Amino acid sequence: MSMLKISVKLAFLWAVAFLFIEVNAQQLGKGISEEDLAPWDISVDPNGSRLPSGSGTAAKGAEVWADNCSACHGEKAEDGPAGALVGGVGSLTSDAPVKTVGSFWPYATTLFDYVRRAMPYHAPGSLSDDDHYAVVAYLLERNGIIDEDDVMSAKTLPKVKMPNHDGFIQYWPSKGD
Ligand code: HEC
């Protein structure tokens, strides 16, 4: 191949590369649309603001649990390969503290946020908000924090006081209560 042909080829490749960079650069700094943002904009504050509509009870949550969670966290959330989410309440100041959702987490609203964004581990985002409320109710009920028939929703969940609510130092006093 002559030097000229190689040069023409190289020039062409550079042109393609610059075009590619230019097209991509045009995407930089572009504002995201509300629609594209919505699936990512799901943080729930400790005080419950930004909780979605929907509701659920522990009874319904037991079904959601059996189908989506029990394989990793045990039939009753007490064991399984990914660990217990129930028990240990009152053990934190003992010689053998057991940290679970029930014994350690300060806000029930955080449980909703976490489950909605991260669980089930292999398929986050696959459940409805009614299912999220129900499975959160199930875990709270299994920890003895609410009753079986208590309906969890954007209105009631923030009112649930977790056993370790006062076990943390508030760094940002304006968040939560
Ligand atoms: C495929 C296995 C798997 C399934 C199914 C699963 N989880 Fe998990 N879960 C995990 C793993 C692994 C962790 C630890 C993740 C980490 O620390 O990053 C975890 C952590 C958690 C935690 C936080 C525990 C803590 O104290 O930090 C909660 C709450 C939880 N899962 C709830 C659920 C719920 C509710 C479901 C069903 C909707 C579910 N998980 C389904 C594997 C699973």
pLDDT in tens, 14-71: 888 888 787 777 777 888 999 999 889 999 999 999 999 999 999 999 999 999 999 9
User: Which protein residue has the closest C-alpha to ligand 1 atom 2?
Assistant: 72
Ligand 1 midpoint to CA 119 (Å): 6
- The pLDDT tens digits of the residues spanning 109-165 come to 999 999 999 999 999 999 999 999 999 999 999 999 999 999 999 999 999 999 999
Local confidence band at 1 (pLDDT 50, 70, 90 cut-offs): low
Could you check whether the bond before residue 120 is cis, i.e. omega within 30 degrees of 0?
yes
Q: Distance (Å, rounded) from C-alpha 141 to C-alpha 151?
A: 11
Could you check whether the bond before residue 81 is cis, i.e. omega within 30 degrees of 0?
no
Q: Distance (Å, rounded) from C-alpha 125 to C-alpha 117?
A: 6
Ligand 1 midpoint to CA 62 (Å): 15
CA 105 to ligand 1: nearest atom: 26
For the chain, the distance separating the N- and C-terminal CA atoms, rounded to the nearest angstrom, is 75
State yes or no: pLDDT of 82 exceeds 80.
yes
Ligand 1 midpoint to CA 46 (Å): 20
CA 152 to chain CA centroid, nearest Å: 17
CA 135 to ligand 1: nearest atom: 35
Nearest to 140 by CA among 110, 164, 162: 162
CA 64 to ligand 1: nearest atom: 38
Return the half-sphere exposure (C-beta side, CA atoms, 13 A cut-off) of residue 163. Answer: 20
User: Which protein residue has the closest C-alpha to ligand 1 atom 17?
Assistant: 82
Q: Distance (Å, rounded) from C-alpha 107 to C-alpha 109?
A: 5
